[in-house]
Every structure is written in structure tokens, then in C-alpha cells.
Homo-oligomer: A and B are copies of this chain.
């Protein structure tokens, strides 16, 4: 769609941006992905470190990230058994975007009501 004189006709969003926004458009994906940015984390620590998330969705989102090749899952055979998740290079490469999102939010979103 091309913008004609004076009209506000709208172009379809670029496929890459549309795809990543669809990815982020599932509840908790962005939060989990961003949290993994700090390095390898155990499932239980992720659960404790993300306020409001439930086991079920945490597991589901982690599986999705792993299936997309954005994270790896490593079973640590200790007592008790623990599972560690870590971003792959591809998953970690989104950092510049996260930095820009953080910058935008710091400037334009207000702190939550206390």
C-alpha cells in the first residue's frame, strides 16, 4: 500500500518486526527472555525472580524459547536435580533492543503506583 496525496493509507508492517512483535505478544515471553539476559539461571531461581509468574507458563515459555533456538536447557544431576536455562547467541543478540526498551521506559513510563 502506497500513501497517496493527503491519504493516511497504511503499509503492512515489515515481516521481521511483525514476527518479533508476535513473539513478544505472548504474556511473559519478553519478561522471561529479558531475565535470562543476565546469564544462566535455574528454573527455581527464575520462578522466584519473576514476580507473578506461575510454574506452568514459565515452563511453557522456556520450552518455546528452547524450541526456537533462543535458549538451552541443561539438567544438573544434583540433589535435588536442577535445570538450568541459558540464552544462546541468537537469544542474547537481542540485548541492544532491550537496552533501548529500557531507555524508553525509564523516560516515558511512570513508576507503578506504590
Interface size on A, residues (CB 8 A): 59
Copies in the complex: 2
In the assembled complex, which residues on chain B have CB atoms less than 8 Å from the CB atom of A99?
Answer: 100
Main SS class of interface, A? helix
Instruction: Select from chain B the residue with minimum beta-carbon distance to A70.
Output: B108
From B10, B97, B109, give the contact of A16 (CB < 8 A): B109
Interface residue A29 (Cβ < 8 Å from any Cβ of B):
yes
Asked if residues B107 and A10 are in contact (CB atoms below 8 Å), the reply is: no
Instruction: Select from chain B the residue with minimum beta-carbon distance to A105.
Output: B16
Residue ranges of A at the interface with B (Cβ–Cβ < 8 Å): 1, 3, 8-31, 34-35, 38-42, 45-46, 48-51, 84, 90, 93-94, 96-109, 111-112
